[in-house]
Amino acid sequence: MSYDNLSDNQKQKILEQQYDIGKLSFIDLAKKYETYPNKLRRDAIKFGIKIRDKSEAQKNALANGSHKHPTKGKIRTEEEKQKIGLGVYESWQALDENALKERQEKAKIAWSNKSHDEKQNILHKANMAVRESSKTGSKLENFLLYKLLECDYKVDFHKEQILSNTRLQIDLFLPTMSVAIEVDGPSHFEPVWGEDVLKKNQKYDTKKNGLILGKELVLIRIKQTKDYSDTRARILLEKLLDELRTIKNKFPDRDKRYIEIED
């Protein structure tokens, strides 16, 4: 059946039933009715039928089996994953201030559009994750721990007894180098959980700084300002290893024993 030979009523019925309701694509319909996808698109607009965006069109194509997922079933090598991650990281780093603000605004709108139950569910999961990480360490802490051990550094994880008369822990302690490493997530410098929690965290950080430096140790604070990703973790690891190599070559003077690393 040729689409061009149909009446407007017939064309509208086909587009409403097969494109809008049946979720077929313009390409599928063009093959079926011996016409062109752009002609179908123009008619859909003329008849007041909402055009699906690219993302929705891709989901429908995958759902009805007319297209296969380009990466489904494909196993990527670790090197490929790192290259992809580095590419994403560099693209984010290249964004100017206006582009970053635009993305932040979109995120705020997406959050405001969520229902009360959705927001509560997300916040509950976030709180559970924070509690769990306080026991087992954050993803970044664990990543750095295993990589440092792979590099033959002796590392004590969540060392507690070294800071006398307190139960404050050192996230990663390198006893043979006299180096303490603290991994600070966003809640250490942003009001993620409110201003009161931020002030409390910063008070503990200041106290811990004094206790660690008072023990004649080097303190390296790693500031994790963004969500965890393997790419950012590897970049932080390289910065940390550079600092440790410098310390190993020459232990720093007292006024240079506080070091900050930021992602």
The answer to whether the beta carbons of residues 183 and 222 sit under 8 Å apart is yes
Residue 143 within any structural domain of the chain: yes
- The whole domain housing 123 covers 78-133
Residue 73 within any structural domain of the chain: no
Helix (H) or strand (E) holding 45: helix 37-46
pLDDT exceeds 90 at position 60:
no
Tell me what the mean pLDDT of segment 3-27 comes to.
87
Number of Cβ atoms within 10 Å of the Cβ of 178 = 14
Q: Is 142 found in the same domain as 107? A: no
Domain-terminating residue out of 115, 133, 151 = 133
**Residue, of 96 and 175, whose pLDDT is higher:** 175
Q: Which of 26-35, 74-83, 187-196 has the lowest mean pLDDT?
A: 74-83
Helix (H) or strand (E) holding 220: strand 218-223
Q: Is 183 found in the same domain as 141? A: yes
Q: In the structure, what pLDDT confidence band is assigned to residue 106 with cuts at 50, 70 and 90?
A: confident
Q: Which amino acid is at 163?
A: L
Q: In the structure, what pLDDT confidence band is assigned to residue 136 with cuts at 50, 70 and 90?
A: very low
Count of structural domains within the chain: 3
| pLDDT score, position 260 | 94
Q: Is 231 found in the same domain as 150? A: yes
pLDDT exceeds 80 at position 55:
no
Q: In the structure, what pLDDT confidence band is assigned to residue 94 with cuts at 50, 70 and 90?
A: low
Q: Is 181 found in the same domain as 122? A: no
Can you tell me the distance from the alpha carbon of 214 to that of 211, in angstroms, rounded to the nearest whole number? 5
Q: In the structure, what pLDDT confidence band is assigned to residue 247 with cuts at 50, 70 and 90?
A: very high
Residue 70 within any structural domain of the chain: no
Q: Is 139 found in the same domain as 227? A: yes
| pLDDT score, position 144 | 93
Can you tell me the distance from the alpha carbon of 97 to that of 217, in angstroms, rounded to the nearest whole number? 38
Q: Is 120 found in the same domain as 210? A: no
Q: Which amino acid is at 206?
A: T
| pLDDT score, position 53 | 78
Can you tell me the distance from the alpha carbon of 171 to that of 160, in angstroms, rounded to the nearest whole number? 9
Place of tokens 């954050």: 138
> Mean pLDDT over all residues of the chain?
81
Q: Is 257 found in the same domain as 148? A: yes
Q: Is 183 found in the same domain as 91? A: no
The answer to whether the beta carbons of residues 23 and 66 sit under 8 Å apart is no
Can you tell me the distance from the alpha carbon of 219 to that of 208, in angstroms, rounded to the nearest whole number? 10
* Residue 240, Cβ density class (10 Å: 0-12 exposed, 13-18 middle, ≥19 buried): buried
pLDDT exceeds 80 at position 235:
yes
Q: In the structure, what pLDDT confidence band is assigned to residue 181 with cuts at 50, 70 and 90?
A: very high
| pLDDT score, position 85 | 57
Q: In 3-state terms, what secondary structure has residue 179?
A: strand
Short-list 177, 138, 129, 130, CA closest to 157: 138
pLDDT exceeds 80 at position 148:
yes
Tell me what the mean pLDDT of segment 89-105 comes to.
68
Secondary-structure breakdown of the chain: helix, strand, coil percentages, each rounded to the nearest 5: 60, 10, 30
| pLDDT score, position 154 | 93
Residue 234 within any structural domain of the chain: yes
Can you tell me the distance from the alpha carbon of 135 to that of 173, in angstroms, rounded to the nearest whole number? 16
Q: Is 19 found in the same domain as 105? A: no
> 245 vs 74, 99, 109, 145, CA distance in Å?
38, 37, 45, 16
Q: In the structure, what pLDDT confidence band is assigned to residue 243 with cuts at 50, 70 and 90?
A: very high
Q: Is 140 found in the same domain as 121? A: no
Tell me what the mean pLDDT of segment 114-143 comes to.
68
